[in-house]
Structures are given as structure tokens and as C-alpha cells.
Amino acid sequence: MKILLYVGLILVVLGVASLVVPVPHTQTEGIKVGSANFGVQTSHSERVPPLISIVLIAGGIALAIAGARSRA
């Protein structure tokens, strides 16, 4: 099926991108006193753990191979 091939290729691309591109994360902490708000907003970027990237890449390759074999 062509769908398995396309999904597999998308998973491989997502897996490779997750190794390189950090995911931004913003956190807001503060207190409210009466009608005034006092807060601090912090932001940082984190990468996805390499194990998740490896699973995405391996699953994508497996689906792409299964999709290519079912077409032939």
C-alpha cells in the first residue's frame, strides 16, 4: 500500500528533525496580590530524547519497507 510508504517516509523525516530541532517551552510563575499580578516568565528549548528519535526513524523505515514490498 502506498499509504504505508508515505507514512514511513514522514516518520523518518520527523525522527531526523527531532534530533536537530529543539522544542520551545515557556513557563509562567507568579502571584496575585489584590488586583496586581507579579510574575516571571521563563522560556527554554529542549530536544526530544534520542531514544524517541531512534524509534521514530526505525518505525518509519519499517513502514516504508512494508509499503514498498506490498506495492511490488
Which residues have a Cβ under 8 Å from the Cβ of 26 and sit 6 or more positions away? 41, 42, 43
What's the average model confidence in pLDDT over 51-72? 88
CA distance 53 to 42: 26
Q: Is residue 67 pLDDT above 90, yes or no?
A: no
| pLDDT tens digits, one per residue of 1-53 | 688 889 999 999 999 999 999 989 899 898 888 888 889 999 999 888 999 99
pTM score, whole prediction: 0.70
Q: Is residue 72 pLDDT above 70, yes or no?
A: no
